[in-house]
A = this chain, B = another copy of it.
């Protein structure tokens, strides 16, 4: 089987499009984001903001880097996402003992925003669970966790040059 074909086999392309984990995860993420964003609209929060806020609530005062690891977000992305929440007064960002650190915590106003958002989130989540079935949703969540772990494992060596 010659790997480096000069001509693109339509059959193969079809199969690639159908089976690509990343493509389909991104499509599904976009679709669900629109649903959740739409449901959350009355709260003034977007899904991303809701998620970060919830993580800040749960993990209490936490450093940027740790919060980024939990949410599988680039540190630099999280920095800017948090800026939005800080401007809205929903989170507090302050220096820790180690003055390099920035510790994130939820504010009173942030908690109120969450309280308002939770029933809206429940509607979106219920829509998914009713459509797919709770069991399948559970299986999906397990697969997603596994996918995250696997994606973080830096195999795929020939194409991950790293730092020489």
Residues in chain A within 8 A of chain B (CB atoms): 3-6, 8, 10, 12-14, 16-36, 38-39, 41-42, 47-48, 51, 54-55, 57-58, 71-73, 111, 114-115, 118-121, 123-125, 127-128, 131-132, 136-137, 139-141, 143-153, 155-156, 158-160
Q: Given A38-B160, A139-B143, A146-B132, are A51 and B72 neighbors across the interface (CB < 8 Å)?
A: no
**How far apart are A127's CB and chain B's nearest CB, in angstroms?**
5
Q: Which residues of B contact A51 (CB under 8 A)?
A: 17, 20, 22-23, 26
Q: Given A8-B114, A132-B143, A150-B131, are A26 and B24 neighbors across the interface (CB < 8 Å)?
A: no
**How far apart are A5's CB and chain B's nearest CB, in angstroms?**
7
